[in-house]
Chain A
Amino acid sequence: MKRLIPLYSVLLILLFNACEEVVNIPLRNTVPGVVIEGSVTTLPGPYKVIMSQTTDYYNPGMIKHLSGALVFVKDSEGHYWYFQEKKQGLYENSQFTGIPGLTYHLQIEWNRHVYTASSVMQEPVPIDSLHVQFFPGSRFADAGYFIIIYFTDPPGKGNYYRIKMMRGEKTNTVIYVLDDQLTDGNQIPFYLYGASYQPGDTAIVELQSIDRGVYEYLLTLSTVTSSSQPGSTSTPANPTTNLSGGALGYFGALAISRDTVIIE
């Protein structure tokens, strides 16, 4: 339903033939912020935690990654795993697999700051099927195939999902999140319009069951990324993180079901 508003603004562009132009808007530079992105899943590792920094908006260079952090994950049964720095800012561990029902805690110490987060591993929800449909193309999108995912929401409200799409190894950046407030217990067909495939492509779709904290993060992240799209009028803000300590980003326990389809 949230996608209604952007669609509505399409009308505006269509009706009035609005035009776009790159402009020079001076922006103030700020003290860099710390960004953390990490997850534990129900699929085998290695699990990754990435630490990086914000940079000035108009800086075209690479993002600076942060080295030398002490990174741990602890589960609610008291197990402890230390994440090793594989390359600058990338911390990994492949000694365990996430178990539904347990809570995972992340703790990071870096430059005398402590950042923590926790996330509850959900039960994975199976994908019923993937369907492929042809889209003939329009003024706003090229012709191509897109995928419809079918899955059945378990009874009882409070399930949250994120759907992730990949073409071979390449992850699509569109973030799809949904809850079951209006669709509790139903079989849900979800149209993945955001990714278009061509014959021969291998499409991998992941249905991730997530907890509310991760859902809120990804939901607010998707509104920020879509509010940077033309026509959006809501006030943008940084996404609601589940990390404490003042960092940007999130830490998620993700229960994953995965399915693949080859476009013919």
Chain B
Amino acid sequence: MFCISGAVFAQEKHILSGYVRDATSGEELIGATVYSPEMKTGTATNQYGFYSLTLPAGKHKILYQYLGYKPVSMEITLDRDVRKDIEMNPSSRNLEEVIVSGQTADYQVRSAEMGTNRLIPQDIRTVPVLFGEQDVLKTMQLLPGIAAVGEGNSGFYVRGGDASQNLVLLDEAPVYNASHLLGFFSVFNSDAIKDVKILKGFIPPQYGGRLASVLDIKMKEGNSKKLSGAGGLGLISSRLQLEGPFHKGKGSFMVTGRRTYADLFLKVLPDTNVNSNVLFFYDFNAKANYRISEKDRIYLSGYLGRDVFKFRKFFGIDWGNQTLSVRWNHLFSGRLFVNTSLIYSNYNYNFNIINEENKFDLFSSIRDINWKEDFQFYPSSGHTLRFGFKVNYHWFMPGEVSSSGDFPVNNLKMETRYALENAFYISHEWKVSSGITLHYGARLSSFSVMGPAHIYYYNERGDVTDTTWYPRHNIIKTYWNIDPRLLVNIKTGSHSSLKLSYTRMHQYLHLLSNSTSGTPLDLWIPSSTIVKPQTSNQISAGYFHNFHENSWELSLEAYYKNMAHQIDYKNGADIFLNELVESQLVFGSGQAYGMELLVRKNKGLFHGWVSYTLARSLRNFKDINQGKTYPAKQDRIHDISLVGIYDLNNKWSFSATWVYYTGNAVTFPSGKYVIEYQYVNYYTERNGYRMPPYHRLDLGATWQLNPEKNFRSSLNFSIYNVYARKNAYSISFQSKEDDPRITEAVKIYLFSIVPTVTYNFKF
């Protein structure tokens, strides 16, 4: 009898679930591992810090681990389902053993993820940067497969895709234009950021809507233990952040602001043409959360940012994003976690010319409203099911012009476009055996273009041949797509694994912008009868190995990706305020392939990483380059980054980065001729040349002024482009001013050596 009941008892299983938090700030920790060494089973916390682990009844030793935190070991008796919330302490700075990421560094080997990189604020803070402005997007560009759009630019290309093929999420809200000031700064104020994750290879089914990558940024929840703050005074901007608890720690909040004052320097200049210009941007992030009960928690987060530029008294332009997310976490049980989100996102710009009595105004925007349900179900040990849906309504307002006075421009209101984007997904993460983990699933998506709208049909030349009117709520066209996703993790040794994956993506929104330099005049258009959704298929394989007790990490990944329905412009395309913008486009295909190597040292006084990318990105358009395949502008071949950080003592730390990459593919002339009284360049092939190779060394040093005090402050010194290489920003081919017969190549470079000091504080 006892034996039998004993056997039954042994099979009985219970759930251990809860949250993992930082002991000093109360912030939930994302991706902390929860592990039972005896059962050799474990899990990781989700993006809200929640975990659920099914274990046989009985006593268990549970190990909680997280990057840069002291591990917590717990004896837990599971005689029923147990809720256990854990607080972990950051590891103190021990000079003998500085740990950047703790033992959970073997995450890259074990996880059912690949082509994924994470950055924690610590990484962002220690790397030297231009003008001392810490920037998530720029630090991210030091990782393999992620390339900077240009000198000092926060825009990025992932695995041969273009910048508009990256889905940028801030607390789940899409950010349509992630750059400030021509792209020199990103809209993400690093003080407000808790976690950054970029997915460029295997993209789990809960994500979709862009071809190349998903950049998932989480804002801090706010310190739930005590009121604290941080800030900084920099050469071109200042920041201030405040966070703290309310209602006895049941809730917490965080607010951050940042403003640049570069234009104040212009005022000093004597030239009235320069000093009357206005140029600045600001960001404001705010977040609050409240625990209604043990099982319910609500979050409210928002972002508001704006750039303002006034060119003397001639014209002004201002642009920016607004996002708002309301989320509700609910635990149905220890096994079922649900998040409901309502999300709003808006990007708009205003352009105006004021000329005494006369006015000209142009307004354009894209707006999104989103409803999402995400379920995470932990049926039994080794299984995680995720499923959910998304309903997303888009408004595209391409342009509205109003003018008054003598301005010769007619008032114009371009038709607003409406679209409904829906998705349903399911995925299963399954530890098949001790050596094999599967992560598979699919995303079913639909995209409907809705009336009221005029739909135009064009001939070869781009003339309108027919027009159809669709009244309000009529569906003009619906696309349905199913995107399968699959990842296999095969353990090849105690510290190594081999991973294979397949990812298919669809993109229904397309960015038209004639320029790469992050001008605010972005125009997003929906898929339509003429513009087909962009599609990609990516296969990738990777080998992951950790050495010396996970203090060294190595990853080597290779991928191949094809892309269909890619968009480019006709020669001389006019996309600005053009109702017939679709007639200005040409369509083609692309392919990208490459190999990425990352070697990272996570422990010791000296730590950092080496990243190397070998890649190609090619395009084929019937109407471009006589139909011959040509390299995309982001085709970069070699891209190397070295990052080294040395923590000398608790007062001083030093850092250095060096980057090298092959110049972008670019179109240069192969000859010249005379027409209209001038020399004109003769082009024979698209992107047939290369910019000169780019390389740069940056150095940084941080001096903690009072490391032991409650009010801590530090000075950060950085030198951008130490050996003052004149890296080309652009190369133009033009006639010499005094003798037009002599044509020459002229390079523009933006920065030579740029030293900066920033003062930061924290209390």
Is A30's CB under 8 angstroms from B745's CB?
Answer: no
- Complex contacts, A75 vs chain B, CB 8 Å: none
- Complex contacts, A140 vs chain B, CB 8 Å: 273
User: Is B465 engaged at the interface, CB distance under 8 Å to the other chain?
Assistant: no
Q: Which of B516, B574, B669 neighbours the largest number of chain A CB atoms within 10 Å of its CB?
A: B669
The digit string for A166-203, where 1 denotes a CB below 8 A from any CB of B, is 00000101010000011111111100000000000000
Is A139's CB under 8 angstroms from B410's CB?
Answer: no
Question: Given A35-B674, A57-B670, are A12 and B576 neighbors across the interface (CB < 8 Å)?
Answer: no
Residue of A27, A53, A54 near B668 (CB, 8 A) is: A27
Is B517's CB under 8 angstroms from A12's CB?
Answer: yes
Cβ of B150 to closest chain A Cβ, rounded Å = 9
User: Is B530 engaged at the interface, CB distance under 8 Å to the other chain?
Assistant: no
Determine the distance from Cα of A241 to Cα of B468 in the docked complex, in whole angstroms: 32
User: Is B678 engaged at the interface, CB distance under 8 Å to the other chain?
Assistant: yes
Is B521's CB under 8 angstroms from A235's CB?
Answer: no
Q: Which of B676, B688, B726 neighbours the largest number of chain A CB atoms within 10 Å of its CB?
A: B676
Residue of A12, A55, A188, A240 near B673 (CB, 8 A) is: A55
The digit string for B681-706, where 1 denotes a CB below 8 A from any CB of A, is 11110111100100000000000000
Question: Given A11-B309, A20-B748, A55-B671, are A233 and B572 neighbors across the interface (CB < 8 Å)?
Answer: no
User: Is B74 engaged at the interface, CB distance under 8 Å to the other chain?
Assistant: no
Name the interface residues of B332-366: CB closer than 8 Å to any CB of A.
351
Question: Please, how many residues of chain A have a CB less than 8 angstroms from a CB on the other chain?
Answer: 80
Is B682's CB under 8 angstroms from A182's CB?
Answer: no
Is A171's CB under 8 angstroms from B731's CB?
Answer: no
Is A30's CB under 8 angstroms from B514's CB?
Answer: no
Of all chain B residues, which has the CB nearest A2?
B576
Determine the distance from Cα of A232 to Cα of B516 in the docked complex, in whole angstroms: 10
User: Is B733 engaged at the interface, CB distance under 8 Å to the other chain?
Assistant: yes
User: Is B747 engaged at the interface, CB distance under 8 Å to the other chain?
Assistant: yes
Of A76-84, A100-108, A109-117, A223-231, the one contacting chain B is A223-231
Name the interface residues of A15-43: CB closer than 8 Å to any CB of B.
15-16, 18-25, 27-30, 32-33, 35, 37
Determine the distance from Cα of A259 to Cα of B742 in the docked complex, in whole angstroms: 34
User: Is A122 engaged at the interface, CB distance under 8 Å to the other chain?
Assistant: no
Question: Given A2-B576, A60-B741, A224-B680, are A18 and B749 neighbors across the interface (CB < 8 Å)?
Answer: yes
- Complex contacts, B749 vs chain A, CB 8 Å: 18-19, 21
Is A231's CB under 8 angstroms from B577's CB?
Answer: no
Of all chain A residues, which has the CB nearest B514?
A234
Interface size grouping (class) on chain B:
35 or more
Is A221's CB under 8 angstroms from B669's CB?
Answer: no
User: Is A159 engaged at the interface, CB distance under 8 Å to the other chain?
Assistant: no
Determine the distance from Cα of A184 to Cα of B279 in the docked complex, in whole angstroms: 34
User: Is A239 engaged at the interface, CB distance under 8 Å to the other chain?
Assistant: yes
Of all chain B residues, which has the CB nearest A235?
B667
Determine the distance from Cα of A175 to Cα of B477 in the docked complex, in whole angstroms: 42
Name the interface residues of B623-649: CB closer than 8 Å to any CB of A.
633
User: Is B39 engaged at the interface, CB distance under 8 Å to the other chain?
Assistant: no
Of B291-299, B401-409, B420-428, B548-556, the one contacting chain A is B401-409
- Complex contacts, A20 vs chain B, CB 8 Å: 746-748
- Complex contacts, A18 vs chain B, CB 8 Å: 729, 748-750
- Complex contacts, A13 vs chain B, CB 8 Å: 748
Determine the distance from Cα of A34 to Cα of B704 in the docked complex, in whole angstroms: 68
User: Is A261 engaged at the interface, CB distance under 8 Å to the other chain?
Assistant: no
Cβ of A50 to closest chain B Cβ, rounded Å = 9
User: Is A216 engaged at the interface, CB distance under 8 Å to the other chain?
Assistant: yes
Determine the distance from Cα of A61 to Cα of B747 in the docked complex, in whole angstroms: 23
- Complex contacts, A232 vs chain B, CB 8 Å: 730, 732
Question: Given A27-B669, A30-B670, A234-B515, are A239 and B408 neighbors across the interface (CB < 8 Å)?
Answer: no
User: Is A262 engaged at the interface, CB distance under 8 Å to the other chain?
Assistant: no
Determine the distance from Cα of A33 to Cα of B681 in the docked complex, in whole angstroms: 12
Of all chain B residues, which has the CB nearest A188?
B408
Of all chain B residues, which has the CB nearest A7?
B311
User: Is A249 engaged at the interface, CB distance under 8 Å to the other chain?
Assistant: yes
Is A57's CB under 8 angstroms from B406's CB?
Answer: no
- Complex contacts, B309 vs chain A, CB 8 Å: 11
Interface of chain B: mostly helix, strand, loop or mixed: loop
Is A14's CB under 8 angstroms from B732's CB?
Answer: no
Residue of A58, A184, A186, A189 near B743 (CB, 8 A) is: A58
- Complex contacts, B671 vs chain A, CB 8 Å: 29-30, 32-33, 54-57
Is A220's CB under 8 angstroms from B747's CB?
Answer: no
Cβ of B454 to closest chain A Cβ, rounded Å = 16
Is A239's CB under 8 angstroms from B746's CB?
Answer: no
- Complex contacts, B10 vs chain A, CB 8 Å: none
Is B633's CB under 8 angstroms from A235's CB?
Answer: yes
- Complex contacts, B731 vs chain A, CB 8 Å: 23, 25
Is A230's CB under 8 angstroms from B730's CB?
Answer: yes
Q: Which of B271, B682, B729, B734 neighbours the largest number of chain A CB atoms within 10 Å of its CB?
A: B682
- Complex contacts, A5 vs chain B, CB 8 Å: 514-515, 519, 521
Residue of B279, B672, B687 near A57 (CB, 8 A) is: B672
- Complex contacts, B311 vs chain A, CB 8 Å: 7, 11
User: Is A97 engaged at the interface, CB distance under 8 Å to the other chain?
Assistant: no
- Complex contacts, B432 vs chain A, CB 8 Å: none
Q: Which of B274, B514, B633, B671 neighbours the largest number of chain A CB atoms within 10 Å of its CB?
A: B671
Residue of A37, A139, A187, A228 near B732 (CB, 8 A) is: A228
User: Is B7 engaged at the interface, CB distance under 8 Å to the other chain?
Assistant: no
User: Is B277 engaged at the interface, CB distance under 8 Å to the other chain?
Assistant: yes
Residue of A25, A54, A235 near B682 (CB, 8 A) is: A54
Question: Given A187-B408, A219-B572, A232-B730, are A237 and B672 neighbors across the interface (CB < 8 Å)?
Answer: no
Question: Given A57-B681, A233-B515, A235-B686, are A139 and B406 neighbors across the interface (CB < 8 Å)?
Answer: no
Cβ of B244 to closest chain A Cβ, rounded Å = 37
Cβ of A159 to closest chain B Cβ, rounded Å = 13
User: Is B120 engaged at the interface, CB distance under 8 Å to the other chain?
Assistant: no
Determine the distance from Cα of A23 to Cα of B680 in the docked complex, in whole angstroms: 19
Is B676's CB under 8 angstroms from A184's CB?
Answer: no
Determine the distance from Cα of A60 to Cα of B675 in the docked complex, in whole angstroms: 16
Is B726's CB under 8 angstroms from A19's CB?
Answer: yes
- Complex contacts, A218 vs chain B, CB 8 Å: 676
Determine the distance from Cα of A174 to Cα of B676 in the docked complex, in whole angstroms: 9
Determine the distance from Cα of A29 to Cα of B672 in the docked complex, in whole angstroms: 10
The digit string for A114-158, where 1 denotes a CB below 8 A from any CB of B, is 000000000000000000000000111000000000000000000
Determine the distance from Cα of A182 to Cα of B43 in the docked complex, in whole angstroms: 60
Is B572's CB under 8 angstroms from A238's CB?
Answer: no
The digit string for B469-484, where 1 denotes a CB below 8 A from any CB of A, is 0000000000000000
User: Is B2 engaged at the interface, CB distance under 8 Å to the other chain?
Assistant: no
Is A29's CB under 8 angstroms from B670's CB?
Answer: yes
Question: Given A1-B576, A237-B686, are A63 and B674 neighbors across the interface (CB < 8 Å)?
Answer: yes
- Name 25 interchain pairs, CB-CB below 8 A, sorted by A: A1-B576, A4-B521, A8-B519, A14-B274, A19-B726, A19-B749, A19-B752, A21-B747, A23-B731, A25-B745, A27-B689, A29-B670, A30-B671, A54-B682, A59-B672, A60-B742, A140-B273, A171-B677, A182-B401, A182-B409, A223-B572, A228-B732, A228-B734, A236-B667, A236-B681
Shortest Cβ-Cβ A-B pairs, 9 listed? A220-B572, A138-B273, A186-B408, A25-B745, A54-B671, A54-B673, A173-B678, A23-B747, A30-B670
